[in-house]
Amino acid sequence: MSDDAPRRQLVLATNNPGKVRELSELLAGAGLGVRGQTELGVPEVAETGTTFVENAIIKARNAARHAQLPAIADDSGIEVDALLGEPGVYSARFAGPEATDAQNNAKLVAMLREVPPVQRTARYRAVIVFMRHARDPAPVIAEGTWEGMIQLEPEGENGFGYDPHFYLPALGCTSAELDPAVKNALSHRGQALRSLIEKLRESG
């Protein structure tokens, strides 16, 4: 093991296995070893921010403090134009604090059932934060967006969250129908993470 190996270890500030899988695959290409916070015994922290940036910083700081490692956290969600940007930062708990993906999707579909398809424009937004340590005064922040539409009937078995309802007109399918490698190349989270990696390289 090289001398700098410990500095390459990061904690991912999420308990979502889908996010751990996606982010681990994306970060592996940058030569970074990552571990989910659940594996390291990091407790959850309340997401009290009102923006994606605030919540990502809260989660990254909590993970860095408990794991004593540099941390990466993302906060992401889906913004539906007909709902004035909802569910936004509340995407993971749209139908309640302990809501499942199925419950969140059911609520979204119910709210959009009377909205004409052409007006169901939406986007995924992701903000990713890197903190060198829990007291890092200058976190590195990157963002990505992915435009699409909401379709009422779910399609596809890949992905998680709202993916079965997030339709991509240019591809003629939902994000849940994409191969994971294709999704990583196109998604909001993939865009944000590539931007973050580039910023980290520039800063040394």
CB count within 10 Å of CB 107 equals 15
Closest CA to 74 of 91, 87, 60, 63: 60
* H helices present in the chain, as ranges: 17-28, 52-67, 101-112, 180-186, 188-203
Please tell me whether residue 173 adopts helix, strand or coil conformation: strand
Helix (H, G, I), strand (E, B) or coil at 51: coil
Residues labelled as active-site residues: 75
User: What are the residue ranges of helices labelled H in 113-160?
Assistant: none
